[in-house]
Every structure is written in C-alpha cells, then in structure tokens.
Amino acid sequence: MMADTFSPARSRLESVLRAGLFAVTTELHPPDSADPQDVYDAALVLSEVADAINATDAAGANTHMSSLGVCALLMRAGYEAVMQMSCRDRNRIALQGDLLGAAALGVKNVLCLTGDDVVNGDQPQAKRVFDFDSLHLIHTVRIMRDAGVFLSGRKITTPPNVFIGAVENPFAPPYDWRPQRLAKKVEAGAQFIQTQYVYDIERFQQFMSRVRDLGLHERVYILAGVGPLKSLKTAEFMRTKIPGVQIPDALIQRLKKTNKDQQAEEGMKICVELIEQIRQVQGVAGIHLMAYRQEETIAEIVRRAQLFPRITPELARPYLQASPH
C-alpha cells in the first residue's frame, strides 16, 4: 500500500495518481529570457493536456530561467507545477532554503535530481557543488516535511508539505542494479518516479518485472518517460550522445526508410505506439512526455494516444474503482 494513502493529497498530481488515473506529466524548458510571457506562451498548450508541468533546473548544465521562477509563474497562471531541484549548483543550505521558498510560493511537487555534470553544458568552467546526490536530497526533503526540522535539527515553524519525486533510468548499466537503486530512492522518501526515455520496450519490461518482484510498484507511482524522435539525425544523436538513452536498431531503420520530410510525423507515430505498449505494462502509473521546445507536438501526441481530454479526480471518483494502491 502506498505511504500516506489515508492522508489528504498534497497536490493535483498526487490526486490524479491516487485516483488510479493514467497520469500525464510533461516538461516546460525555461526560456533564456526575463519576460514572463515567454513562460505563459509555452505553458498554454501544455496545460490542457498534462496533469502537471515540470520546470527543468538548468537541464544539461545550461543556464536558463530558474525552475523556481518558472514554477512561480506557472502557479500564478493557475497551472500545476513540478519544481526540479538539482544538487549540481547548490549546497545543502541553499537547497533547504529554496525548498522553503518554493513551498511558501505554493509549489506542491518537487523532483529531486543529482544533476548533469558541468562538462556537458555551455559553461564547462563552472564549479561543481554536488554537496548532495539525489538520494540525500530526497531524504532531506522528507525530513523537512515529516519531521519538521532542518538537517541541523533546528525546528521549522511550518514544514513544506510537498509530493516528493525522483528520476530513474532503466537503461543505464548495470541493468540489474537499477531496480535496487529505485528501491533506495523509495526508502529515502520518493513517492513518484519519472524515468529516462523509453524506446526499448523489452528492456523496460524487464526492469518493471523486477520492480514488481520487489513490490515497488505498490509503493511508488512510476511515470515512464516518452518523447517523439523528430528526425533520424535526432535519434542518432540521442542514442550516441545522451547517456542512458537506448534506441533499438529497428526504430533507427524505420526512420532511415522514411523520407526526411516525413520523419517528424513517423517519430510521432512511434511515440504514440510506445505509449500504447507502455500502458499495458503492469505497475506503470502514467507517462512523462518530453519534447524539447515542441509544445504543440506534445499536445498532438496526447490527443493521438487518446489521453485527452484529461479526467480530473473529482469527475472520475463516481465511477472509478478504488486505486489498488
């Protein structure tokens, strides 16, 4: 049984997952701008097709508007936000302070990340912090929320009441270790998981089989990462340059056989097919849909996958069976 099953849901995303609905989350890539309208324009399409919108935290170690700033703007517009917190750039003092500030602004969902190394970003000369890794950050957020204290032991007047998330990569070797790593994150306090891109269904099914053997699917909500392959060039770049992304040869060959001007459409078809297969995997609670600066594409994929319109927990409650969690 999920932890906190009988306590009030902390966020709309948690409510959707508790109701047993197949959740859809997505990402808004923060602009290189101080204009809030740039955030609103990108979020407008996403808000209709997703239960929550992640605000990435300097993804790829590249500078953009902060995750906290984007979340504040999303909530001002009435959208459900997931704040990403990376350990790369801040020590434990700053991380704890940012969590309090985010909660005070109304953030209800926090995704804990170790963070991409600076060598991958546009300012490789930047100093790394990595005072924590994601496990320590998850534990810290849980201590602050549930025990109402900082790591120093000092009391927090009003603890941050947040839904705690983490990430996992089923495709990074050693494969047998990934479910064990997930178990550690669950023990630390993770309540929902967003995975790396799932293109290799067979490998993902093997991962989920072990997850079920460990009973983790009954303790954490798992959202499988998906995304469209815009072109053959994009697919080849992703599988050779992005750690932990596995794209089977069959998908590469499928794109090679497609005319260049039709590859984006074929990539969308592949994504929808993958979503349909993922929905059949026991223990998967939803998808996390990622498409860099392709907000309209995300909306179209959700519609083609017949996941739109989104059903709210309130509307679903009269006819949905109780969640198995």
Q: Residue 286's domain is classified under what CATH number?
A: 3.20.20.220
Q: Read off the amino acid at residue 200.
A: D
- The answer to whether residue 237 sits within a structural domain is no
**What's residue 246's pLDDT?**
94
Question: Distance (Å, rounded) from C-alpha 200 to C-alpha 202?
Answer: 6
Q: Is the dihedral of CA 140, 141, 142, 148 positive or negative?
A: positive
Which residue reads 């669950």 in tokens?
A: 186
The answer on pLDDT for 144 being more than 50 is yes
The answer on pLDDT for 258 being more than 90 is yes
**What's residue 161's pLDDT?**
97
**What's residue 295's pLDDT?**
78
pLDDT bin (cut points 50, 70, 90) of residue 1 is: very low
- The answer to whether residue 243 sits within a structural domain is no
Question: Distance (Å, rounded) from C-alpha 44 to C-alpha 39?
Answer: 9
Burial (CB count <10 Å: 0-12, 13-18, 19+), residue 60: middle
pLDDT bin (cut points 50, 70, 90) of residue 320 is: very low
What is the average pLDDT across 272-296? 93
pLDDT, averaged across the chain: 92
- The answer to whether residue 251 sits within a structural domain is no
pLDDT bin (cut points 50, 70, 90) of residue 314 is: low
pLDDT bin (cut points 50, 70, 90) of residue 243 is: confident
8 A C-beta contact, residue 252 and residue 199 = no
Tokens of 202: 């067979």
**What's residue 316's pLDDT?**
53
- The answer to whether residue 101 sits within a structural domain is yes
202: left (phi over 0), alpha (psi -120 to 50) or beta: alpha
Q: What are the φ and ψ backbone dihedral angles of 224, each rounded to 5 degrees?
A: -80, 130
Tokens of 314: 């309130």
The answer on pLDDT for 203 being more than 50 is yes
- 58-72, 89-103, 217-231: segment of lowest average pLDDT: 58-72
What is the average pLDDT across 267-277? 97
Residue 323 DSSP label:
P
What is the average pLDDT across 233-241? 92
How far from the centroid of its chain's Cα atoms is residue 42's Cα?
A: 17
- The answer to whether residue 1 sits within a structural domain is no
Q: Which domain holds residue 45?
A: 12-230+268-316
For the chain, report the end-to-end CA distance as a whole number of angstroms.
5
Which of 140, 149, 87 has its CA nearest to residue 118?
87
What is the average pLDDT across 168-185? 96
Between 56 and 2, the more confident residue is 56
**What's residue 290's pLDDT?**
95
pTM above 0.85, yes or no: yes
- 16-30, 104-118, 303-317: segment of lowest average pLDDT: 303-317
Q: What are the φ and ψ backbone dihedral angles of 110, each rounded to 5 degrees?
A: -130, 130
Question: Distance (Å, rounded) from C-alpha 311 to C-alpha 157?
Answer: 36
Helical ranges in the chain per DSSP H: 12-18, 36-49, 67-76, 92-105, 134-142, 178-188, 201-213, 232-241, 249-256, 263-278, 295-304, 313-316
Question: Distance (Å, rounded) from C-alpha 38 to C-alpha 40?
Answer: 6
Which residue reads 């932890």 in tokens?
A: 3
**What's residue 106's pLDDT?**
95
The answer on pLDDT for 319 being more than 90 is no
- The answer to whether residue 219 sits within a structural domain is yes
- The answer to whether residue 242 sits within a structural domain is no
**What's residue 313's pLDDT?**
64
The length of the chain, given as a count of residues = 325
- The answer to whether residue 47 sits within a structural domain is yes
How far from the centroid of its chain's Cα atoms is residue 47's Cα?
A: 15
249-256 vs 263-278: helix axis angle to the nearest 10?
Answer: 150
Three-state DSSP class for residue 83: strand
**Number of domains forming the structure of the chain:** 1
